[in-house]
Every structure is written in structure tokens, then in C-alpha cells.
């Protein structure tokens, strides 16, 4: 039996950039053919090992400057590695930065044709797929307009459609959901699920831990170019989220921060009898208990938000203290969200918790309960939620008598 073939494999991968002290130092190094060293090596990646199976969605998380984008660029072939090696099995398509690889004076159609040919496809193959790419992008007449006239969201549509349009085996994405309208983001997520179900591989980088948990099977946390943690996406994102909380409190390595940030200390969803609410029935009475901390107290108001999101990322219900005219006061406290007669019908839901600023705009924290909520309706009702309703049935004779009385 031969060695296992991975969709993407990397061994001891590293990337260093040269940082010169001055332009003169660069010039002197060039004139001396490197005998006089005028630079220092800045390592963006060090000793990264990676094995991604076919049909897997793999996520990358980490703070800005952690090396995520550098790793993706190396694996996509847009920059070379300094140390180590990597191997891919199959055609690779990447969307690293919106608009990368597009000629601004060419139309969307011309850019798709050029990118397809550069990727090794024949003109006949490109032309055969052009209509489906244009249909997915939904740019209308703008598909034949210069790309320099596109908005950022339109550039995202074109880039995503072009990346997926030629059926790659491996798709590399870097923060592609940061822009664009909700409708097209949902369309992209659905297409990625289909892509994965077709036994194709996705390497996905995002600051949205929720997107990573929902889309990815496994994940890697990078910190200063080194691998901090690898495993299933829920475990890795939870560890990274906990580290972020420690950073905000100034408890992580590196010393205290000048500002201590608000945070959610704990959260649990329970029934009236105080037992954990994991599998519940439509109509049950539930309570969500949240403990929060706000070091600056009333000087920096905060708000709490809760959302119930179905597995297909449909927002089914939500509540927020700022939406109900309530305020969180003091430096710490507990909030209890009472949910009598739960209206959600059958399904599996992720319970998302948010800590906002006083206006409910900036998110200090975003996290999910460790376990999804499973709702069993036990009835023949359909839809997302149960409607409070009653039927009154009348015969034709009843309507005639009512008319006579009204007259």
C-alpha cells in the first residue's frame, strides 16, 4: 500500500522577509554581492506542518500579523517559501485579496477569460463556462464594463465567481466574506457547501470564528508565524477565543494592556428546573444566564445580544438589551434572558452571544455556546417558529345572520 495522498501537505514551511535598515544598506549589499549584509530576516512563518485531506474544509485563525495570509500566499503559489516544502494534489484556485489578478481597464468578462487561460484552460473551455460564471456573479451589464468601475462588493462577486468557475479541486480563500451584501454571502456559503460535498478541498481564513466553526472540519491557530494549536474547528476556535479574552484582560504573555475590555465570563442555557437545556421541546420554558464584566463600568456602557442561528446560517430569532431599552450598569453582573414558551420549531440551532458597545454597533465579544440547541417540535407544524394562533370557523348561515344583525 502506497503513502496516503493528501489534498494539501506542507512540511516545515517557513517564510522570511528581508528588512533593510536603509536604502543605502540595500544598495551596499547589492554592490558587494551579499558580502556586506545590510538586512535582517523577519520570519512571517516558521516550521508550519499541515496535512489536509480531500473533501475537507480547513480553517486558519489568528490575530493580525499571525502569518495567515502569508501561509495562504505560499500555498497558492503567489510567493515562495524560504524553508520547507509543500505539495498539492489537483487544480488550485485562490481568492486572496479582492481584485487581485484583475486588470482594472479590462471588463469582468475579459478578466475571467484572461485568468482562465493563465490557469491552463483552453479558450474553448473558458468560453463554455463563461455563461455560468456570469450568472453566478449576477453583475448584469456591468460584467462587460471595466473593473475599475466596480464597487468592492462587485469585485467580490467577480472574484468568487471566477475562482469557482473552473472547477478547482482545492480552493484557497482569505477573508472573502468581509464585504458584499448578505444575499451574496449566503449564496457563496451555499456554493462552498456544495463544493465540499463534491469531495473538494477548502482552505479558509477568517476573523469570523462563527463562520469557521460552521464551515470547517478542522482548523489551525497561528501566532507570530508559529502553530499554536491544530484540531477540530470547535476546539481550536474556542481556545483562540479564550486567548483573545486573556489578551483583553492583560493576562496573556506580553504584559497588561492599557485598556481592559468588557467580556462575557460565562453563559448557560437551562430549563426552569435548572437542568441544562440541550435537547428541548417547542413550548418549553428556558432561561439563558450570562455573567459579564465591564472594568470601566458606566463610563463605557455595554449591551448584550443573543441570536439563535440554524445550521444553514439562517437567523431565526434574536434579542438585545439595547433593543428593549435596557442598560447594563456597574462593573460586573448577571443577566437572565427569560424565554417562556419557546417558539422555535424542530431543528439544530447555534446560540450566539454578543457583547456590544452602548450603541449596539461595535462587538467587544462574539462567541457561541459550547453545545448547539436541539429543538424537537413533537407536532406537524412547519416553518421556523410556532405562531400563537387560534381558528374560528363559521358557516355560510352564520355570516348571513351577522349581516342581518349589523343591518
C-alpha 324: how far from chain center: 28
Q: Provide the pLDDT for residue 289.
A: 95
Q: What are phi and psi of 142, to 5 degrees?
A: -65, -15
pLDDT at res. 19: 83
Let me know whether 219 and 190 are in one domain.
yes
Please tell me whether residues 12 and 138 are part of one structural domain: yes
Given a cut of 50, whether residue 256 has pLDDT beyond it is: no
Instruction: Answer yes or no: is 89 within a domain.
Output: yes
- Confidence (pLDDT) at 109: 92
* Confidence label for 385 from pLDDT (cuts 50, 70 and 90): confident
Which among 117, 309, 304, 288 is positioned nearest to 208, based on CA atoms? 309
The residue from 193, 217, 243 where one domain ends is: 243
Burial class (CB in 10 A: 0-12, 13-18, 19+), 26: middle
Does 387 fall in a domain?
Answer: no
Return mean pLDDT, the chain.
Answer: 84
Query: Does 19 fall in a domain?
Result: yes
Q: Output the domain CATH number for residue 328.
A: 2.70.50.60
pLDDT band at 255 (very low <50, low <70, confident <90, very high): very low
Residues 218 and 271 placed together within one structural domain of the fold? no
* Residue 252 confidence (pLDDT) above 80: no
Question: Mean pLDDT over residues 121-129, rounded?
Answer: 90
Q: For residue 388, is it within any domain?
A: no
Beta 347-357 vs 363-368: how paired, if at all? antiparallel
Query: What is the distance between the alpha carbons of residues 163 and 186, in angstroms, rounded to a whole number?
Result: 17
Q: What are the backbone angles phi and psi of residue 341, rounded to the nearest 5°?
A: 55, 65
Q: Do 271 and 180 fall within a single domain?
A: no
| pLDDT value of position 257 | 43
Residue at a domain's end among 208, 243, 278:
243
- What local confidence, expressed as pLDDT, does residue 100 receive? 61
pLDDT for the residue numbered 258:
44
Q: What is the pLDDT of residue 246?
A: 64
What's the CA gap between 128 and 6, in Å, rounded? Answer: 30
Bridge partner list, 14:
83
Dump pLDDT digits (tens) for 185-216.
777 878 888 888 899 999 988 887 777 887 88
Short-list 89, 361, 115, 125, CA closest to 201: 89
- What residues contact 51, with CB distance under 8 A and at least 6 apart? 6, 8, 9, 10
**For residue 405, what is its C-alpha cell?**
344583525
Contact 61, 237 (CB under 8 A): yes
Instruction: Kindly state whether residue 317 falls inside one of the protein's structural domains.
Output: yes
Span 166-176, average pLDDT = 85
Task: Give the model confidence (pLDDT) of 260-315 as tens digits.
Answer: 778 888 999 999 888 999 999 999 999 999 999 998 888 888 999 999 988 777 88
The answer to whether residues 58 and 204 belong to one domain is: yes
- pLDDT at residue 394 is higher than 50: yes
**CATH number for 227:** 3.40.50.300
**pLDDT band (50, 70, 90) for residue 107:** very high
Q: Which whole-number Å values give the CA distances from 293 to 97, 118, 192, in the listed order?
A: 37, 54, 38
pLDDT of residue 273: 87
What's the grid cell of residue 311?
445550521
Q: How many domains does the chain have?
A: 2
Helix axis angle, 123-137 relative to 108-118, nearest 10°?
A: 140
43 and 150: one domain?
A: yes
Query: What is the C-alpha separation between 213 and 240, in angstroms, rounded?
Result: 12
Q: And the C-alpha cell for 318?
A: 434574536
Contacts of 247 (CB under 8 A, 6+ apart): 254, 257
Compute the average pLDDT of residues 35-52.
86
How far is the C-alpha of 78 from the C-alpha of 70, rounded, in Å? Answer: 10
Q: pTM of whole model > 0.85?
A: no
Q: How confident is the model at residue 253 (pLDDT cuts 50, 70, 90)?
A: very low
Residue 398 within any structural domain of the chain: no
**Which residues span the domain enclosing 235?**
8-243
- Whole-number pLDDT of residue 131: 92
Looking at the structure, tell me whether residues 290 and 320 fall in a common domain: yes
Residue 343: the pLDDT is 92
In angstroms, the Cα distances linking 211 to 89, 124, 181, 237 are: 26, 36, 16, 10
| 117, 130 contact by CB (below 8 A) | no
Task: Give buried/exposed letters for 60-82 (b at 16+ CB in 10 A, else e).
Answer: bbbbeebbbbbbbbbbbeeeebb
Mean pLDDT of 81-97: 86
Q: Which candidate, 68, 64, 75, 54, places its Cα nearest to that of 227?
A: 68
Higher pLDDT, 238 or 123: 123
Quick one: pLDDT at residue 181?
A: 65
47-70 pLDDT per residue, tens: 999 999 999 999 999 888 889 989
**Segment among 10-14, 32-36, 397-401 with least mean pLDDT:** 397-401
> At residue 250, does pLDDT exceed 60?
no
Task: Decide: 282 and 347 in contact? Cβ < 8 Å.
Answer: no
Q: How far apart are CA 364 and CA 358, in angstroms?
A: 11
Under 8 Å CB-to-CB from 2, ≥6 apart: which residues? none
- Residue (of 6, 3, 11, 2) closest to 56 by Cα position: 6
Amino acid at each position: 500500500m502506497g503513502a496516503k495522498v493528501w489534498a494539501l501537505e506542507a512540511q516545515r514551511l517557513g517564510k522570511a522577509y528581508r528588512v533593510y535598515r536603509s536604502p543605502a544598506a540595500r544598495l551596499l549589499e547589492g554592490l558587494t554581492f551579499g558580502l556586506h549584509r545590510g538586512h535582517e530576516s523577519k520570519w512571517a512563518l516558521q516550521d508550519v506542518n499541515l496535512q489536509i485531506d480531500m473533501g475537507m474544509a480547513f480553517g486558519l485563525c489568528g490575530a493580525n500579523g499571525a502569518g495567515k495570509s502569508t501561509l495562504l500566499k505560499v500555498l497558492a503559489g503567489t510567493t515562495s517559501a524560504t524553508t520547507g516544502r509543500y505539495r498539492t494534489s489537483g487544480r488550485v484556485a485562490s481568492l486572496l485579496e479582492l481584485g487581485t489578478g484583475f486588470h482594472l481597464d479590462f471588463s469582468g468578462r475579459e478578466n475571467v477569460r484572461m485568468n482562465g487561460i493563465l490557469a491552463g484552460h483552453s479558450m474553448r473551455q473558458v468560453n463554455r463556462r463563461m455563461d455560468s460564471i456570469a450568472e453566478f456573479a449576477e453583475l448584469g451589464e456591468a460584467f462587460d464594463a471595466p473593473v475599475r468601475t466596480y464597487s468592492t462588493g462587485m469585485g467580490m462577486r467577480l472574484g468568487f465567481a471566477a475562482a469557482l468557475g473552473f472547477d478547482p479541486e482545492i480552493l484557497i480563500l482569505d477573508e472573502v466574506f468581509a464585504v458584499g451584501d448578505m444575499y451574496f454571502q449566503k449564496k457563496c456559503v451555499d456554493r462552498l457547501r456544495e463544493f465540499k460535498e463534491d469531495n473538494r478541498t477548502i482552505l479558509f481564513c477568517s476573523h469570523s470564528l462563527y463562520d469557521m466553526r460552521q464551515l470547517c472540519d478542522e482548523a489551525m491557530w497561528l501566532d507570530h508565524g508559529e502553530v499554536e494549536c491544530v484540531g477540530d474547528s470547535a476546539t481550536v476556535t474556542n481556545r483562540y477565543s479564550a486567548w483573545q479574552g486573556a489578551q483583553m484582560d492583560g493576562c496573556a504573555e506580553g504584559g497588561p494592556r492599557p485598556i481592559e475590555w468588557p467580556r462575557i465570563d460565562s453563559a448557560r442555557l437551562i430549563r426552569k428546573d435548572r437542568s441544562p437545556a440541550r435537547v428541548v421541546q417547542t413550548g418549553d420554558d428556558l432561561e439563558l444566564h450570562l455573567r459579564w464584566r465591564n472594568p470601566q463600568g458606566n463610563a463605557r456602557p455595554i449591551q448584550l445580544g443573543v441570536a439563535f442561528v440554524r445550521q444553514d446560517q439562517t437567523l431565526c430569532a434574536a434579542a438585545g438589551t439595547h433593543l428593549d431599552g435596557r442598560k447594563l450598569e456597574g462593573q460586573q453582573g448577571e443577566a437572565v434572558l427569560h424565554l417562556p414558551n419557546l417558539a422555535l420549531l424542530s431543528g439544530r440551532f447555534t446560540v450566539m452571544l454578543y457583547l456590544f458597545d452602548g450603541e449596539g454597533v461595535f462587538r467587544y465579544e462574539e462567541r457561541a455556546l459550547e453545545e448547539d440547541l436541539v429543538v424537537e417540535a413533537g407536532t406537524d407544524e412547519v416553518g421556523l417558529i410556532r405562531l400563537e394562533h387560534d381558528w374560528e370557523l363559521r358557516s355560510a348561515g352564520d355570516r348571513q345572520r351577522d349581516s342581518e344583525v349589523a343591518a
